[in-house]
Amino acid sequence: MKIYHNQMCSKSRNCFNLLQEKGVEFETIEYLKTPLTKEELADLLSKLNIPAEELVRKGEAEYADNYQGKTLSEGQWIDAMVKFPKLIERPIVVKGNKAVIGRPIERVIELLAD
């Protein structure tokens, strides 16, 4: 398993702690320190089974300053998240070929049971 994690985010920390409490072995990817490539982000979106725009945090300043009110293609949204990793929703937990955004945390619990 993997968790795409932001230590500064309480929801991400809660998810990280849940995985530890459940005794799950997982890899932690701090995507703000090690940004994702276009290919990694596209693969992650495939596992999430969502379009790129649904992974964008629309409350971030980078969104308001650069993208609010704009219609972008899938590739342009991916480029935006590569350029501004803070735009990526978190936490994301990956198990095999499936992934979920850990909001609410029940999604992660369902993924663990799967």
Q: What is the pTM of this model?
A: 0.94
What is the layout of strands, in order, in the sheet containing 98-101? Answer: 27-29, 2-4, 92-95, 98-101
Q: pLDDT tens, 51-86?
A: 999 999 999 999 999 999 999 999 999 999 999 999
Which position has the token pair 């980078």? 62
Q: Which residues are catalytic?
A: 9
Statement: residue 42 has pLDDT above 90: yes
Question: Domains, the chain, ranges and CATH?
Answer: 2-113 (3.40.30.10)
Q: Is the dihedral of CA 60, 10, 41, 34 positive or negative?
A: positive
Amino acid 63: pLDDT: 98
